[in-house]
Amino acid sequence: MELKLDGISKNFGEKEVLRNISLSAQSGHAMGLLGRNGAGKTTTIRIIMGVFFADSGTLTIDGKPMNRSEIRIGYMPEERGLYPKQLISTQLIYLAQLRGMSKKAAAESCDRWLERLSMSEYKNKKLETLSKGNQQKIQLAATLMCDPQIVILDEPFSGLDPVNAMLLKDVIKEMISGGAIVLFSSHQMNYIEEFCESIAVINTGKIVLQGKISDIKRSYPRDKISVTSPQAEKLTAFLLQKMSGDILTANVDKNDRSMITVQLKDPAFKSRMLREISDSHFDIDSFYVNEPSLNDIFVQYTEVAV
């Protein structure tokens, strides 16, 4: 299944919120939807869900206009939307029925997800009696009870301790391997890199970068090399002497004296550098291209309004 947005624009009065947004997401994959606060991510999500309608552009599933009565969507908002004074089982079953499930099927799904998230003991508790992290898990259960084909997660790891974060990771991976389309919105770039094959970065209402994370990183110059070695000082002096015409800088890290960062004049010189090190029999623990982090890329594309 493919979800595709093509030329989506949206205004609120005179304010242009989205400008010609186009992106696609496929079953069995997660896409990171990134942007600063106010960039247009939430409006994009709400258009997918049918809360808002676009002023122009199309929204399709496998090339056909999206019929939300035929597509199951699970949405986990950043601002949680459950009822603090209601029993957990009561509201989970109620919300599932609103999505078209029978009461019997909703009750079975409720029990299944509470067990999966280690929350069965809280089934007949009021939501307000739970910790923030456990409330987050109940919100996740509400999101997934209808077995959604499209899962939208907005800052899902907020408030979770490491154990519950690991549980949520397992659930998200199950959704992806089960064939769901997962749209993942977060400012925690480590989670985006862990789950998402591709990203779309929105800035001031338009997409400024999209594609596979691996392809985006490889598009940057690959001329900075990191090497770790217990002989770092000696190796640095060797490289500066042996490759003086091919190296711009070579420095030992001030905090990690086994780490060397080498700036080459040309990325093509990295093979020669590796060969020189190998031929001289230095003790090497690692040798790798120093790629930009996803956080660095995000800042580059969103720090200046375009």
Contact (CB, 8 A) for 260 and 287: no
Non-local CB neighbours of 108 within 8 Å, separated by 6+ positions? none
Structure tokens at 239: 């490289």
pLDDT in tens, the chain (306 residues): 999 999 999 999 989 999 999 999 999 999 999 998 888 999 999 999 999 899 999 999 999 999 888 899 999 887 777 889 999 999 999 999 988 899 999 999 999 999 999 999 999 999 999 988 888 899 999 999 989 999 999 888 877 788 888 988 899 899 999 999 999 988 889 889 888 999 999 999 999 999 999 999 999 888 999 999 999 999 999 999 989 889 999 999 888 999 999 999 999 998 999 999 989 989 999 999 988 889 999 998 987 544
Backbone Cα Rg of the chain: 24
Q: Cα–Cα distance between 220 and 172 in angstroms, integer?
A: 30
Which of 3.30.70.2810, 3.40.640.10, 3.40.50.300, 2.40.50.140 would CATH assign to domain 221-290?
3.30.70.2810
pLDDT at 306: 43
Among the listed residues 53, 66, 55, the one whose alpha carbon sits nearest the alpha carbon of residue 24: 66
Backbone CA torsion sign across 163, 169, 172, 174: negative
pLDDT at 255: 87
- The CATH architecture assigned to 2-217 reads 3-Layer(aba) Sandwich (3.40)
Q: In the chain, what is the greatest distance between 2 CA atoms, to the nearest angstrom? A: 76
Structure tokens at 6: 């093509």
Residue 264 C-alpha from the chain's centroid: 32
Residue 276: CB atoms within 10 Å: 16
Q: Cα–Cα distance between 88 and 68 in angstroms, integer?
A: 27
Instruction: Break the chain into its structural domains and give their ranges.
Output: 2-217, 221-290
Contact (CB, 8 A) for 266 and 273: no
